[in-house]
Amino acid sequence: MKEMILDIHSTNIATLKKKIENRDAKIGVIGVGYVGLTLSVQLANKGFEVLTIDKDHFKIDQINKGNSYIEDVSNEELYSLVKKNKISASLNMDIISSYDVLIICVPTPLTVNREPDISYIEEVSHIISKYIRPGQLIILESTTYPGTTNEVILPILNKSNLEVGKDYFLAHSPERVDFGNKMHTRVNIPKVVGGVTSQCLEAALTLYKQIVEVIPVSSSTVAEMVKLFENTYRSVNIGLVNELAMLCNRMGINVWEMLDAAFTKPYGIQSFYPGPGVGGHCIPIDPFYLVWKAREYDFSLKFVELAGEINSNMPYFILEKLTYLLNHNNKTLKGSNILILGVAYKKDISDYRNSPAIKIIELLKKSNASVSYHDPLVPEMKLSSKDGHTLYSLDLSVNNLNTIDAVIIATDHSAFDLDYIVENSCLVLDTRNATRKLKNKEKITYL
Ligand SMILES: NC(=O)c1ccc[n+]([C@@H]2O[C@H](COP(=O)([O-])OP(=O)(O)OC[C@H]3O[C@@H](n4cnc5c(N)ncnc54)[C@H](O)[C@@H]3O)[C@@H](O)[C@H]2O)c1
């Protein structure tokens, strides 16, 4: 009897591996935002049949029509994969039993108290536990605190009475893509993979080896920690240069000149630049996941918390600097017309989630300044749910620019005609060193 059970278990992994290697494995990607859609396209390009599943009717409808809604996936690429039946989309989770691999790419935001909100992961895990069947591989790609796969997902899936590592396989492989980065893309960024058991690792490695270089680690918890370390490393270093920017400002030193010179050192230093604060789905959020988990172990992550504090203070610093500059022009912030140039959280992308520009706009409004923005990639933007306002990108006509008292360059999109903008503005506060190549810098002040 025991031998028979062993046989069934080894059949499960052997069959799954063979299906993956032969591209016969059907893959379901749950949550098709930025991460899920790019992953689906990558898998489909390698010959897998991919079902994308999301709660969002708009996204499902767009995918089925072959329309992309993110910059890193072109309409042509998606359309051709949909036409070849390599990618399809559904709102329905009840068909997941017929898929061999399920990859979870749902959001992992913070609660209002800046604690991890893993409710999306829990919700999807409960649904999977209803439909799971022997031979399936479940992978979490969402960023989360170390222990989530083992301590949260595993107990939920175990309610199915199937045994992990034998009947089904569970692993974590964090998404490391940097959207908008043309040099380091999904195709050449190695994938860190950790399994709940060695069989789980083997199954997940078999899948990811088909699409990219893999870095196996000893557990799903290590893989989760790797991702949080990577983003915390960025947050801490950005915090350091932001703090130096504030000191240089007080000392009358151009921080950009200083950093450019420092980064010529060929070893022991890596380039990070200051800015109006951090944004997006990773840097402002992930360190808080680590800080929260560390507390469970009576451990306070001092560097990490301090960097978070400095980075979230940057919009306030920008406001102080703007007030000072307006004063010098005999103007007050109250009643001034301020234009924010670029609201996406980084260059050349349309994603403005958690963008520091949002905080700057909110602070300006609180000070009774009149605020508008221009961003060719973000035609309209919603402020926080508290505010509920929708703003629309302002056309940069000479007439419009002439009504503006100060321009804050918050994002350095390549599309900006900075010569034209500076020439037709009275005052420019450049938080990104975007105007460094301009000849006439008279109206410009740098962070
Ligand atoms: N965007 C990035 O740059 C990036 C990079 C690396 C890692 N990550 C991580 O990857 C994860 C996903 O990020 P994203 O940027 O793709 O998020 P996103 O918000 O763009 O997409 C998540 C999708 O999940 C869907 N969803 C939510 N609950 C669902 C459910 N129960 N069933 C089906 N679909 C559901 C949402 O509708 C949404 O379309 C997060 O953990 C994030 O931290 C993001």
- Kind and range of the H or E run holding 421: helix 418-423
* CA nearest ligand 1 atom 27, residue: 106
CA distance 126 to 68: 29
DSSP string, 115-176: -B--HHHHHHHHHHHHH--TT-EEEE-S---TTHIIIIIHHHHHTTS--BTTTBEEEE----
Check if 282 is active-site: yes
Segment 16-39, tens digit of pLDDT: 999 999 999 999 999 999 999 999
Looking at residue 194, its amino acid is G
Instruction: Please state the rounded mean pLDDT for residues 146-168.
Output: 96
Does 31 sit in the ligand 1 pocket, CB within 6 Å?
yes
31: CA distance to ligand 1 center in Å?
6
Does 350 sit in the ligand 1 pocket, CB within 6 Å?
no
Query: According to the model, what pLDDT value does residue 84 have?
Result: 97
Query: According to the model, what pLDDT value does residue 55 have?
Result: 97
Mutate to test the pocket of ligand 1, among 106, 192, 224 (most ligand atoms within 8 A of CB): 106
Tokens of 446: 């740098």
What pairing do the DSSP bridges indicate for beta strands 370-374 and 337-341? Answer: parallel
pLDDT band at 191 (very low <50, low <70, confident <90, very high): very high
281: CA distance to ligand 1 center in Å?
9
Helices 220-251, 286-296: axis angle to 10 degrees equals 120
Does 345 sit in the ligand 1 pocket, CB within 6 Å?
no
Query: According to the model, what pLDDT value does residue 144 have?
Result: 98
CA distance 362 to 371: 9
Does 53 sit in the ligand 1 pocket, CB within 6 Å?
yes
The domains of the chain are located at: 2-221, 257-446
Instruction: Please state the rounded mean pLDDT for residues 386-401.
Output: 89
Among the atoms of ligand 1, which is closest to the Cα of residue 53?
33
Tokens of 303: 């560097």
Q: Is residue 8's pLDDT more than 80?
A: no
Nearest to 172 by CA among 154, 193, 197, 187: 193
Q: Which is more confident, 5 or 105?
A: 105
Burial of 424 (0-12, 13-18, 19+ CB in 10 A): middle
Among the atoms of ligand 1, which is closest to the Cα of residue 120?
28
Does 353 sit in the ligand 1 pocket, CB within 6 Å?
no
Instruction: Please state the rounded mean pLDDT for residues 367-378.
Output: 97
Does 105 sit in the ligand 1 pocket, CB within 6 Å?
yes
Class of domain 257-446: alpha beta
CA distance 401 to 301: 45
CA distance 274 to 241: 5
Radius of gyration (C-alpha) of the chain in whole angstroms? 24
Query: According to the model, what pLDDT value does residue 6 have?
Result: 52
Global pTM reads 0.91
Segment 220-241, tens digit of pLDDT: 999 999 999 999 999 999 999 9
CA distance 283 to 178: 12
43: CA distance to ligand 1 center in Å?
17
Sign of CA dihedral 216, 220, 226, 231: positive
Tokens of 39: 């992953």
pLDDT band at 132 (very low <50, low <70, confident <90, very high): very high
Q: Is residue 353's pLDDT more than 80?
A: yes
- Kind and range of the H or E run holding 329: none
Q: Is residue 369's pLDDT more than 90?
A: yes
CATH 3.40.50.720 fits 2-221, yes or no: yes
16: CA distance to ligand 1 center in Å?
26
Region for 330 from its dihedrals, namely left if φ exceeds 0, alpha if ψ lies in -120 to 50, beta otherwise: left
Among the atoms of ligand 1, which is closest to the Cα of residue 174?
7
Virtual torsion, Cα 43, 44, 45, 47, nearest 10 deg: 100
Does 36 sit in the ligand 1 pocket, CB within 6 Å?
yes
